[in-house]
């Protein structure tokens, strides 16, 4: 049986989760306020959102992991005895990380590398890495693991409310935004992660509270199925977090709805106050 190693990008937010597995990370970086930071290593979620909230003129920008750094990660894992690698990346529609991981896979010698486009980000991507590591421990091979990850990819999603669109617009991460031009920065739209892995606006909403109410309403009435894992992702949206959690628990009769922070490199595009309801049908 080959020794299989798992790699995931930091956009998954796996840094904020406790787990028992040797999962290696490839980290993106961001530039904000004249300083460069490696995600999670130099700046964590609370610090980042405090920084941009207190300095609204800052325009954070991000950079994917250099291909050479990804290659070094593969080489180090080969030295550590891994014979095959499975790399899980953020949606290729949102970042060049997938392409960089593929390029590095074609450059490394003596080890087979499979790169999987999660077509998502944040906690659903982290779940794929954790599931892959669990299956490796159970003795599953790469084809069996990819079958499971493909199922998870097709059975997860995010409904998103952002407090401001300026970061998504400036950084070019909002698909299909033509209908919002003119009043784009004044609306609080509901966004969704598409099956192709793009962030797309689906409804125009004028106030934050209505936007938050609407993502709960849409999730409860149109998305939720019994047995789904339901969770909240947020960018220090503490003004809304408990209200949304309580509403979901009460309406869906759930015992628990966990929340996870949006890691800074992703938050650089979503902005302070963003909140998403996510789900995984396992």
96, 66 in Cβ contact below 8 A? no
165, 200 in Cβ contact below 8 A? no
In a domain, 254, yes or no: yes
202 C-beta neighbours (distance < 10 Å), count: 14
Q: What are phi and psi of 227, to 5 degrees?
A: 100, -10
How many domains does the chain divide into? 2
In a domain, 40, yes or no: no
Residue 173 scores a pLDDT above 70: no
User: What are the tokens at 279?
Assistant: 């789900």
In a domain, 167, yes or no: yes
CATH code where residue 111 lies: 3.40.50.10170
Same domain, 177 and 236: yes
251, 220 in Cβ contact below 8 A? yes
pLDDT at residue 181, as a whole number = 46
154, 186, 207: which is the final residue of a domain? 154
pLDDT above 90 coverage of the chain, percent: 84
In a domain, 76, yes or no: yes
Q: Residue 81's domain spans which residues? A: 4-28+64-154
Q: Compute the distance between CA of residue 180 and CA of residue 178 in angstroms, rounded to an integer.
A: 5
What is the residue whose two structure tokens read 């401001």?
A: 164
Predicted confidence (pLDDT) per residue in 66-115, tens digit: 999 999 999 999 999 999 999 999 999 999 999 999 999 999 999 999 99
pLDDT at residue 185, as a whole number = 57
Q: Compute the distance between CA of residue 233 and CA of residue 54 in angstroms, rounded to an integer.
A: 21
DSSP state of 64: P
125, 154, 183: which is the final residue of a domain? 154
114, 129, 154: which is the final residue of a domain? 154
């Amino acid at each position: 049986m080959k020794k299989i190693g798992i790699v995931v990008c930091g956009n998954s937010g796996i840094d904020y989760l406790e787990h028992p597995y040797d999962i290696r990370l490839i980290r993106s970086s961001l530039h904000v306020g004249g300083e460069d930071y490696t995600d999670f290593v130099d700046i964590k979620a609370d610090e980042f959102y405090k920084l941009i909230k207190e300095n609204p003129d800052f325009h954070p920008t991000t950079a994917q992991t250099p291909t050479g750094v990804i290659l070094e990660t593969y080489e180090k894992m080969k030295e550590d005895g891994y014979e095959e690698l499975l790399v899980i990346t953020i949606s290729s529609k949102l970042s060049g990380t997938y392409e960089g991981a593929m390029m590095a896979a074609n450059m490394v010698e003596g080890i087979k590398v499979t790169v999987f486009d999660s077509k998502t980000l944040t906690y659903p991507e982290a779940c794929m890495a954790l599931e892959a590591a669990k299956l490796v421990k159970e003795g599953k091979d790469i084809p069996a693991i990819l079958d499971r990850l493909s199922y998870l990819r097709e059975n997860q999603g995010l409904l998103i409310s952002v407090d401001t669109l300026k970061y998504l617009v400036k950084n070019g991460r909002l698909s299909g935004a033509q209908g919002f031009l003119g009043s784009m920065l004044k609306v609080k739209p509901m966004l969704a992660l598409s099956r192709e892995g793009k962030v797309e606006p689906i409804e125009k909403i004028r106030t934050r509270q209505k936007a938050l109410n609407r993502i709960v309403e849409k999730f409860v009435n149109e998305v939720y199925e019994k047995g789904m894992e339901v969770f909240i992702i947020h960018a220090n949206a503490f003004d809304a977090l408990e209200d949304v959690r309580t509403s979901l628990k009460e309406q869906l009769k759930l015992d628990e709805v966990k929340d996870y922070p949006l890691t800074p490199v992703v938050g650089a595009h979503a902005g302070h106050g963003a909140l998403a309801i996510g789900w995984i049908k396992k």
